[in-house]
């Protein structure tokens, strides 16, 4: 990553009012506090790393307004409300330089059905397959080897990475980003077994993904039995996540890697499901629910509450029980001591 910024550009991109110290050269890299070299931009985004600011060789450091400390000679502190957010905005500018949105193009190796509609300015990369009646919105970017099934409707400025598969009849809003290897619209896992042999329950619904959703790599989102599996506006889903049929993920939820949500469960808005957690089917997780990593939820939750463990409990109780369970050896010893002390009195 080769960059070249002046301090004034950093100040402008980060919206900072206050600079401590000065740096006259070019900023040529971004690095963590510990790894930074002269010429690098760094930031204090997590209090855990506060002691590293003093040691850092970075030329420019984004620090919180309230940070106590002064820069070394030739070093500049840029004071901002949220250093992580400020850096995100600087990196966003960089990203658009590194990987500029491509010009309109349809690669000759792409296989596009004659009834498919490709929007203005869309970029369809090599090896893509677009089936009948699919619509690709204006300026959307299918990078390479993407499959878009029959009748899929895709909004504007979507970005689909290589080897993404969108099954027939699914619907994507605007600015949806999907990472490589992810599958949208595979069949839900449904069988009837009247005699011990599993008879398939056809899955003839679809998946609807609303605006501004981002989905990680190698995730799977199943189509509904009928009606729709739905991913709400602005929700963010990480890698290797399983979303089963008929699930509704509310707006602005965060689903971390390797988590799974079973069939027909509803997550209201702003639910956070941490990594490797699992949610049983046919539940409702109220707005703002937080599920800890590896947690297993098998009940409806209350708004804004934090749950941990498998099976899950409210986090404060789960924590107490974890601490007390470490004392089980002591508990058994104390019990034995009491029993022994009571023995003589039984005589």
The 99-118 contact track toward a second copy, x by CB under 8 A, reads x-------x-x-x-------
List the one residue from 127, 133, 157, 284 that touches a second copy (CB under 8 A). Answer: 127
| Rounded least distance, CB 149 to a second copy, Å | 8
Rounded CA Rg of the chain: 26
Q: Which is nearer to a second copy, 68 or 325 (CB)?
A: 325
- Asked if 151 and 136 count as a contact pair (C-beta separation under 8 A), the reply is no
| Contact status: 242 vs a second copy (CB under 8 A) | yes
Considering 107, 113, 123, 245, which one is annotated as catalytic?
A: 245
| Contact status: 306 vs a second copy (CB under 8 A) | no
> How far is it, in rounded angstroms, from Cα 328 to Cα 82?
44
DSSP H or E run through 34:
none
If you count DSSP H runs as helices and E runs as strands, how many of each does the chain have, helices first? 5, 38
| Contact status: 331 vs a second copy (CB under 8 A) | yes
List the one residue from 51, 340, 342, 347 that touches a second copy (CB under 8 A). Answer: 342
- Asked if 27 and 7 count as a contact pair (C-beta separation under 8 A), the reply is yes
β-bridge mates for residue 220, sequence order: 183, 242
Tokens 């409806």 found at: 300
Is there a catalytic annotation at residue 322? no
Q: Which is nearer to a second copy, 22 or 95 (CB)?
A: 95
List the one residue from 56, 258, 289, 301 that touches a second copy (CB under 8 A). Answer: 258
| Residues touching a second copy, count (CB under 8 A) | 118
| Rounded least distance, CB 130 to a second copy, Å | 10
| Contact status: 245 vs a second copy (CB under 8 A) | no
β-bridge mates for residue 183, sequence order: 165, 220
| Contact status: 267 vs a second copy (CB under 8 A) | no
- Asked if 284 and 249 count as a contact pair (C-beta separation under 8 A), the reply is no
Strand 313-314 versus strand 306-308 pairing type? antiparallel
List the one residue from 6, 54, 72, 322 that touches a second copy (CB under 8 A). Answer: 322
- Asked if 329 and 345 count as a contact pair (C-beta separation under 8 A), the reply is no
Q: Which is nearer to a second copy, 67 or 189 (CB)?
A: 189
Q: Which is nearer to a second copy, 104 or 129 (CB)?
A: 129
List the one residue from 7, 10, 27, 30 that touches a second copy (CB under 8 A). Answer: 30
| Contact status: 329 vs a second copy (CB under 8 A) | yes
In a 10 Å sphere around its CB, with 0-12 CB exposed, 13-18 middle and 19+ buried, how is residue 339 labelled? Answer: exposed
| Rounded least distance, CB 68 to a second copy, Å | 22
> How far is it, in rounded angstroms, from Cα 225 to Cα 172?
18
| Contact status: 341 vs a second copy (CB under 8 A) | yes
CA 188, 244, 278, 146 torsion: positive or negative? positive
| Contact status: 52 vs a second copy (CB under 8 A) | no
List the one residue from 4, 22, 65, 317 that touches a second copy (CB under 8 A). Answer: 317
| Contact status: 26 vs a second copy (CB under 8 A) | no
User: What would the two tokens of residue 189 be?
Assistant: 């896992």
| Contact status: 173 vs a second copy (CB under 8 A) | no
| Contact status: 270 vs a second copy (CB under 8 A) | yes
List the one residue from 27, 61, 144, 247 that touches a second copy (CB under 8 A). Answer: 144
User: What would the two tokens of residue 240 be?
Assistant: 């290797």
* Closest-CA residue to 90 (of 7, 174, 214): 7
In a 10 Å sphere around its CB, with 0-12 CB exposed, 13-18 middle and 19+ buried, how is residue 21 labelled? Answer: middle
List the one residue from 123, 135, 179, 248 that touches a second copy (CB under 8 A). Answer: 179
List the one residue from 123, 135, 139, 225 that touches a second copy (CB under 8 A). Answer: 225
Catalytic residues: 245
């Amino acid at each position: 990553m080769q960059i070249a910024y002046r301090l004034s550009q950093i100040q402008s991109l980060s919206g900072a009012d206050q600079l401590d110290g000065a740096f006259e050269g070019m900023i040529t890299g971004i690095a963590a506090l510990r790894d930074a070299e002269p010429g690098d931009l760094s930031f204090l985004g997590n209090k855990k790393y506060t002691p590293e600011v003093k040691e850092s060789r970075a030329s420019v450091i984004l620090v919180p307004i309230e940070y106590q400390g002064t820069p070394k000679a030739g070093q500049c502190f840029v004071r901002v409300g949220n250093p992580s957010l400020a850096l995100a905005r600087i990196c966003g500018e960089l990203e658009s330089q590194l990987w500029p949105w491509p010009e309109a193009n349809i690669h000759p190796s792409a296989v596009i059905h004659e009834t498919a509609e490709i929007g203005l300015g869309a970029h369809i990369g090599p090896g893509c397959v677009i089936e009948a009646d699919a619509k690709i919105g204006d300026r959307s970017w299918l990078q390479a080897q993407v499959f878009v099934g029959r009748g899929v409707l895709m909004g504007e400025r979507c970005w689909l990475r290589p080897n993404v598969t969108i099954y027939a009849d699914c619907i994507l809003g605007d600015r949806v980003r999907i990472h490589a290897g992810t599958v949208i619209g595979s069949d839900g896992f449904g069988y009837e077994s009247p005699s011990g042999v599993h008879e398939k329950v056809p899955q003839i619904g679809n998946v609807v993904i609303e605006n501004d959703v981002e989905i990680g790599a190698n995730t799977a989102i199943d189509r509904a039995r009928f009606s729709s599996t739905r991913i709400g506006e602005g929700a963010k889903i990480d890698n290797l996540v399983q979303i089963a049929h008929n699930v509704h993920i509310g707006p602005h939820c965060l689903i971390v890697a390797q988590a799974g949500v079973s069939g027909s469960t509803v997550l209201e808005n702003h639910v956070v499901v941490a990594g490797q957690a699992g949610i049983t089917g046919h539940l409702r997780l109220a707005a703002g629910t937080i599920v800890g990593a590896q947690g297993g939820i098998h009940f409806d939750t209350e708004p804004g509450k934090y749950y941990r463990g498998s099976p899950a409990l409210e986090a404060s109780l789960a924590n107490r029980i974890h601490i007390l369970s470490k004392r089980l050896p002591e508990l058994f010893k104390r019990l034995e001591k009491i029993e022994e002390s009571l023995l003589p009195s039984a005589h």
